[in-house]
Amino acid sequence: MARRKDKRGRLSVFKGHEARLNRAIFHILAHRGPLTIYDIHKEVKAQKGLRRIRYASINKRVKALEELGYIEKIGTKKTKAGFETVMYEVTARAYLAILLESISLESVITRLDETTAREILAAIMHLL
């Protein structure tokens, strides 16, 4: 019998081909604060295993993450060449995705008191 793919588990932003790059972009922006795509590219290239990543790949990932609501434009910065470039930062959705990836839901549920569990349940039910 063929195995069915589980619909639960990891978030889609951390699945597939671009998962490592998404994770790297999130962590860089979360730790360093708002950056330009060029600055993100420099930081990503400094990481082991991502040294050969091209600027175009970073540009495409940042734009895709912006469309999904994980990253947002927060302003512009003047470059040394005199051009204006966009600064990006992670949103609350990205922080939540990073947090949900790093914790075990089992441990969270066992630690919740009844009042907090009801509040979370109500918030989730409101979304559905």
Show the domains of the chain with their CATH numbers. 12-103 (1.10.10.10)
Is residue 100 a contact partner of residue 11, using CB atoms and an 8 Å limit? yes
**DSSP 3-state of 53:** coil
Ranges of residues in the chain with a pLDDT under 70 are 1-9
Residue 90: its pLDDT value, please? 96
Q: Identify residue 12 by its one-letter amino acid code.
A: S
Q: Which residues contact 33 (CB under 8 A, 6 or more apart)?
A: 89
The reported pTM is 0.80
pLDDT of residue 9: 63
Cα–Cα distance, 36 to 42 (Å, whole number): 10
